[in-house]
Amino acid sequence: MMNIALIGNPNTGKTSLFNNITGSYEYVGNWSGVTVEKKVGIFKNGKGQLIDLPGVYTLNPLSKDEGVVTNFFLSESFEKLLNILDASQLRRNLHLTLQLLEYGAPVTIGLNMLDVARSRGIEIDIDKLAALLGVSVAPVVARSGKGVKDLAEMVTDEIACPGKANLVYYGKAVEDGVLELGKMLNGRTNQPVRWLALQLFEGNPFVRSYLESYLSAEQLNSLVISVSEAQNRQTGKEQALDQVIHRKRSEAIDKIVNAVAAKSDDKKVPLTEKVDMIVTNKFLGIPIFLLLMYVMFMLTFDWLGFPLSDALDAFLSGPVTAGITAALSAAGASSFIEDLVLDGIVAGVGGVLVFVPQIFILFFFISLLEDSGYMARVALVMDRLMESVGLNGKAFIPMMIGFGCNVPGIMAARTIETPKERLMTILLTPLMSCSARLPVYALFVGAFFLGNKALVVLSLYVLGVVAALILAKVFSKTLLKGETSVFVIELPPYRLPQARALWRSTWDKGKGFIKKAGTFIFAGSVLIWLLSYAGPEGVNVSMDESYLASLGSIFAPLFAPIGFGTWQASASLFTGFLAKESIISTMNIIYFVPDEATLQGLMASHYTPLAAYSFMVFILLYIPCLATTATIYKETASKRWTAFSILYALAIAYILSLVIYQGGRLLGLS
Amino acid sequence: MLGKLKTGEKGRIMNIAGADQFVRRRLLDFGIAEGSEVCVKCILPFGGPVMVESCGQCIGIRRKEALRIEVERV
């Protein structure tokens, strides 16, 4: 099947186009060596597959994320490129396009956001653009899907031509350098020499290391230096090669844009700027952000999520359990099987599934923030605060995503350009309270803090953030000193999110939770139930004499000073390492209850409200779950940092719970 | 200096060489270089970043970087 790569600047509607052009994902995985998400989809017309590349401004990478694209060009095979352009930012977008043309693969261009351009008074002559570049250009509206079908046909059917590779003349010195590199390589590589040379002169580190497999570093150095000297001699000016190349491209682009774009002066103040005057306002910026967070939490826990979860709980513990019981007895199942299914699987898996509505609401809001363009504003508004602890505003985005799930949060840290800040963000994102921790809170606040559920939960989220910020300060002063922090961020125009895209990204995030319930939690529940069913004395023992109880009792004394020295608590903390939500399934099994409501009633006799809060704080911080730990290891490629991320979390969780529990008791709380 | 402009004021970039190399490269990616016209849209409090508009796109950079970019008011 034909492989077509989708490439474009960030925020040009690449993801929308991908979603509209392909029916479903053929494959979602990671790029080799790095955990940047790699998405491959089949064209709706079935004639090829589309590979989604990370958004880049140029093929000369600054962050690891961007390096993926350069590596793709150097080491993977593909037949065509689909380049999406933002018509309202044609100049900037064409820098990438020119590099693609220099690469020489067949390119088809999708011209997006013509409406935005029009509202700025820019009209673009599409045919002229196509003629000047020598490739096919089709207008699309990526968000609504208008024109996408024609574009797809164009990409898959037409015999695409490689376009004009020599649109830019870079001056004698550079062009001579291109020829010189060609001589040195002498046909040993099948990559386009002109493209390799220009990227090398621009300082592209990936291309340089690729070339080092054919030529020595000294040969390359002397070539670059001689070109640079020749350039300075010929122009009589001291200028870095990358700037020379960039300027030449800009000049060529100016000519193209002047020929194809007509600008009129009837532009209005875009809505985006009006919105920005409010949300990034000096005084209102942070309060508005906090207010949005508050509404999000109230909806998730109180106004909408709670009643929905309650209804689902009633459904699962009522009709579903009754149905399964009837089916089991009709099938003549033994009492062992019946116990395993009802007390183990239904209690364990059902106890987690109950929280699906709340988790989807949370994911919906995170998708909404991402899709609308507000996330970048959050980074801007938060930068001052983050700078004071040695991070930059962009680190806030992985943390926000971490509220949904720590794993994609840690991956999102790839967009942070400086290694030190990226490492800190990876280490601290697990302190963000992910959605899997939410069932635990929901259970406990339902039992102990009925009056102010959302506020108590919010306090835990805030605690996680505050702990992360304080630790960031500590880490940047001790372990990770040096390296200046930088921050440049693009603020894309606001876009009204589209229902379908929003649902798709909510579902993409939320389905993992359901999948986990069917696999990890299922297996865990069976195991826990078996451990609670059997004991040193034999099978079907009372819970207090089970293996689970003896296992839990070993560690229970450790947790006594922080308020929950029962074997039940320590047993559930163990399973929490597999996945945080298994804490709930374990408790359901241990306390042997059919539904959440009864469990909450029972909790009251095992925990005081203070101990319950201390327990929640401990759950919030104590350890990244298995999947998160694996991701930290993959991202940092360091056993030391992975171990560190577990150990510091344990320490900070214990200390904070101790302070809260003992401090609370001193203050007379219970 | 760009960092000295007030909200709503416009300027043309004269010299960008004083800014951090990384910041310069990113600005170049956005098409912002010597000669570009910029307009300060918003300045965040407590020495926070500035939001700058240029050719219809908005970017955020830190105040201390903005203070190293020479502009002339227009």
pLDDT tens, position by position, A14-35:
888 888 888 765 555 544 444 4
Name the residue of chain A whose CA is nearest to B60's CA.
Answer: A489
Residues 405-424 of A with CB under 8 A from B: 417-418
Whole-number pLDDT of residue A483? 66
Euclidean distance between CA atoms A28 and A24, whole angstroms: 10
Chain A CA closest to residue B59? A490
The domain tally of chain B equals: 1
Two tokens at A264? 């009129």
Q: Average pLDDT of A272-301? A: 78
Reported as half-sphere exposure (CB side, CA atoms, 13 A), residue A54 has a value of: 26
Average pLDDT over residues A412-429: 86
Q: Is residue A296 over pLDDT 60?
A: yes
Nearest CA in chain B to A490: B59
Q: Which two tokens stand for residue A198?
A: 């220009």
Cβ–Cβ below 8 Å for B42 and A417: no
Size (chain B), residues: 74
A442, A456 contact by CB (below 8 A): no
Q: Which residues pair with A5 in a beta bridge?
A: A51, A81
Section A555-576 average pLDDT: 88
Residue A166: per-residue pLDDT: 82
Q: How would DSSP label each residue in A430-448? A: GGS--GGGHHHHHHHHHHH
* Residue A219: per-residue pLDDT: 93
User: Is pLDDT larger for residue A358 or for residue A572?
Assistant: A572
To the nearest whole Å, the CA of B10 is away from the closest chain A CA by 15
Tokens of B3: 């960092």
* CA-wise closest residue to A198 among A218, A173, A219, A222: A173
Least confident of A271-285, A517-531, A606-620: A271-285
Mutate to test the interface with B, among A90, A488, A495 (most CBs of B within 10 A): A488
Total Cβ atoms within 10 A of residue A561: 14
Q: Please report, rounded to a whole number, the percentage of residues in chain A having pLDDT higher than 70.
A: 96
Q: Where are the beta strands (DSSP E) in A131-203?
A: 136-139
Task: With beta carbons less than 8 A apart as the criterion, state whether B1 and B16 touch.
Answer: no
Tens of pLDDT, residue by residue over A48-82, are 889 989 889 999 988 777 888 999 999 888 999 99
* pLDDT of amino acid A176: 93
**pLDDT of A236:** 83
A656 neighbors A613 (Cβ within 8 angstroms): no
Nearest one of B6, B30, B41 to A276, comparing CA atoms: B41
Indicate yes or no: CB of A487 within 8 angstroms of CB of B58: no
Distance CA A622, CA B47 (A): 35
Q: B40, exposed or middle or buried, with CB in 10 Å at 0-12, 13-18, 19+?
A: buried
Per-window interface: A 201-260 vs B, CB < 8 A: 246, 250
* Confidence category of residue A481, pLDDT binned at 50, 70, 90: confident
Q: What is the pLDDT of residues A164-194, one digit of tens each?
A: 888 899 999 999 999 999 999 988 888 999 9
The Cα–Cα gap between B13 and A666 comes to 61
Domains and CATH numbers, chain A: 2-157 (3.40.50.300), 172-263 (1.10.287.1770), 288-481+515-666 (no CATH)
Token readout for A449 is 């803090």
- For chain A, give percent helix, strand, coil, nearest 5: 65, 10, 25
CA distance linking residue A169 with residue A252, whole number of Å = 8
Given a contact cutoff of 8 angstroms between Cβ atoms, the answer to whether A185 and A213 are in contact is: no
Q: Are strands A48-52 and A2-8 parallel, antiparallel or unpaired?
A: parallel
- Count Cβ–Cβ pairs < 8 Å, chain A vs chain B: 103
Distance between B60 CA and the closest CA of chain A, angstroms: 5
How many Cβ atoms are within 10 Å of A510's Cβ, its own excluded?
Answer: 21
Give the closest of B28, B45, B62 to A487, CB-based. Answer: B62
How many other C-beta atoms lie within 10 A of the C-beta of residue A663?
A: 12
Between chains, do A95 and B31 touch, taking CB under 8 Å as contact? yes
Quick one: closest CA in B to A96, which residue? B29
Contact status of A44 with chain B (Cβ, < 8 Å): no
* CA distance readout (Å), A346 to A342, A400, A438, A640, B37: 5, 32, 20, 39, 64
Residues in Cβ contact with A253 at an 8 Å cutoff, skipping those fewer than 6 apart: A91, A94, A95, A98
Q: How confident is the model at residue A158 (pLDDT cuts 50, 70, 90)?
A: low
CB atoms within 10 A of CB A271: 12
- Chain B residues inside the 8 Å CB shell of A58: 29
- Does B44 contact A381 at a Cβ distance shorter than 8 Å? yes
Is A95 within 8 Å of B53 when comparing Cβ atoms? Answer: no
* pLDDT for the residue A37: 64
- Supply the pLDDT for residue A630: 82
The answer for A 609-648 residues in CB contact with B (under 8 A) is none
What mean pLDDT, rounded, does chain A reach? 85
Q: What is the DSSP string of A51-88?
A: EEPPP-SSSS-SSHHHHHHHHHHHH---SEEEEEEEGG
Which residues, 6+ apart, have CB-to-CB distance to A626 below 8 Å? A577, A578, A579
3-class secondary-structure state, position B24: helix
How close does chain A come to B11, measured CA to CA in Å? Answer: 18
- Which of A76-90, B42-56, B59-73 is predicted with the least confidence, judged by mean pLDDT? B42-56
The band of A266, judged by pLDDT with boundaries at 50, 70 and 90, is low
pLDDT digits (tens, 9 = 90+) for A143-153: 778 888 888 88
Across the interface, do B42 and A393 touch by the CB < 8 Å criterion? Answer: no
> Would you state the pLDDT for residue A269?
65
- Chain-centroid distance, C-alpha A509: 9
Q: Which chain A residue is nearest to residue B55, measuring alpha carbons?
A: A89
Nearest chain A alpha carbon to B43: A282
pLDDT (tens digit, 9 = 90+) per residue, A501-555? 788 878 877 787 788 778 877 888 888 888 888 888 888 888 788 888 888 899 8
Interface of B with A in 17-56 (CB under 8 A): 20, 22-23, 25-31, 33, 41-49, 51, 53, 55-56
Distance from CA of A480 to the nearest CA of B (A): 20
Q: Where does the pLDDT of residue A282 fall: very low under 50, low under 70, confident under 90, or very high at 90 and above?
A: confident
Q: Which residue of B has its CA nearest to A486?
A: B23
Find the CATH number of the domain harbouring B9. 2.30.30.90
Structural domain range at position B9: 2-73
Angle among Cα A35, A38, A43 to the nearest 5 degrees reads: 175
Residues of chain A in contact with residue B60, where contact means CB-CB under 8 angstroms, are: 376, 379-380, 383, 393, 487-489, 491
Which residue in A120, A277, A383 is closest to B48 by CB distance?
A383
**Whether A384 contacts chain B with CB within 8 A:** yes
- For residue A594, pLDDT beyond 70: no
pLDDT at position A33 is 45
Mean pLDDT, residues A345-349 taken together: 81
The amino acid occupying position A421 is E
Model pLDDT, residue A670: 67
Please say if the pLDDT value at position B71 is more than 70: yes
